[in-house]
Amino acid sequence: MSPEQEKLLTEVELAKLWGVTTSFLQKMRHEGRGPRFIRIGRQVRYRMSDVTRYVEENSVGIAPPQMPNPAFLHREADKGGVPNGASSTTT
């Protein structure tokens, strides 16, 4: 969908979608938080793509796998433990 045809949500529609009050959205705007918005005169509108992007960027969940912290590996070795992926053979 082109930006010209994209659905614009009203403040009431977004509040209903998120299950919050319009005053909460107003407070977020005042504090510089929340999704980007458009002012049309005194009216406020939200692009659905901006709302989706905001939700994705602020989602909290399981983080993608990361390399272990080297400090953790050293602590495990000091305890006599073997970190995952390390060889347990000694010479």
Cross-strand pairs, 39: 44
Q: For residue 25, tell me if it sits in a domain.
A: yes
Token pair recorded at residue 73: 């590996």
Is 29 domain-assigned?
yes
> Does a structural domain hold residue 73?
no
Q: Give domain status of residue 53, yes or no.
A: yes
Domain containing 33 equals: 8-57
Task: Name the domain count of the chain.
Answer: 1
- 27 within domain boundaries: yes
Evaluate if pTM is beyond 0.85.
no
14 lies in some domain = yes
Displacement of CA 55 from its chain's centroid (Å): 6
Task: Kindly give the confidence (pLDDT) of every residue in the chain, 91 residues in length, as a single tens digit, with 9 standing for 90 and above.
Answer: 565 678 899 999 999 999 999 999 999 999 999 999 999 999 999 999 999 999 999 988 766 666 666 666 556 566 666 555 555 555 5
In-domain check, residue 75: no
